[in-house]
Amino acid sequence: TLAEKAAWDFSKENGLDVVVVNPGTVMGPVIPPRLNASMLMLVRLLEGCTETFEDYFMGLVHFKDVALAHILVYENKEASGRHMCVETISHYGDFVAKVAELYPEYNVP
């Protein structure tokens, strides 16, 4: 949020166009050497975290779709403003159930 605000402020001060892609919870292989916030949530589940979120819904998106969204707004000269990049909205409980199904060797609560 702070980085996006700084980008908008900088663009206004310098007369630049900015287009923002805001992804939801990004899933897929981890490329950087450290975990991002999305992957940390998954790792915590695999480690047996029992924290619950009763009324929590999350927007999920695959990392390749986020990359494609960035390419599309970059190549489209008429693109402007803020864009959400989400494939599906899922309740946290459904997400946990899917993780448990995909990784039965872990003690997912």
Residue-wise pLDDT for 2-59, tens only, equals 999 999 999 999 999 999 999 999 988 877 788 888 888 888 888 988 877 778 899 9
pLDDT at 57: 93
Structural domains in the chain (count)? 1
86 domain residue, yes or no? yes
51 domain residue, yes or no? yes
**How many Cα atoms are found within 13 Å in the side-chain-facing hemisphere of 103?**
14
Please name the amino acid found at residue 26: V
CATH number at residue 98: 3.40.50.720
Q: Which two tokens stand for residue 11?
A: 């663009």
Range of the domain at 70: 2-102
Report pLDDT digits (tens) over 72-98. Answer: 999 999 999 999 999 999 998 998 999
Q: Write the CB contacts of 65 (distance below 8 Å, at least 6 apart in sequence).
A: 85, 87
Q: What is the pTM of this model?
A: 0.79
**How many Cα atoms are found within 13 Å in the side-chain-facing hemisphere of 6?**
3
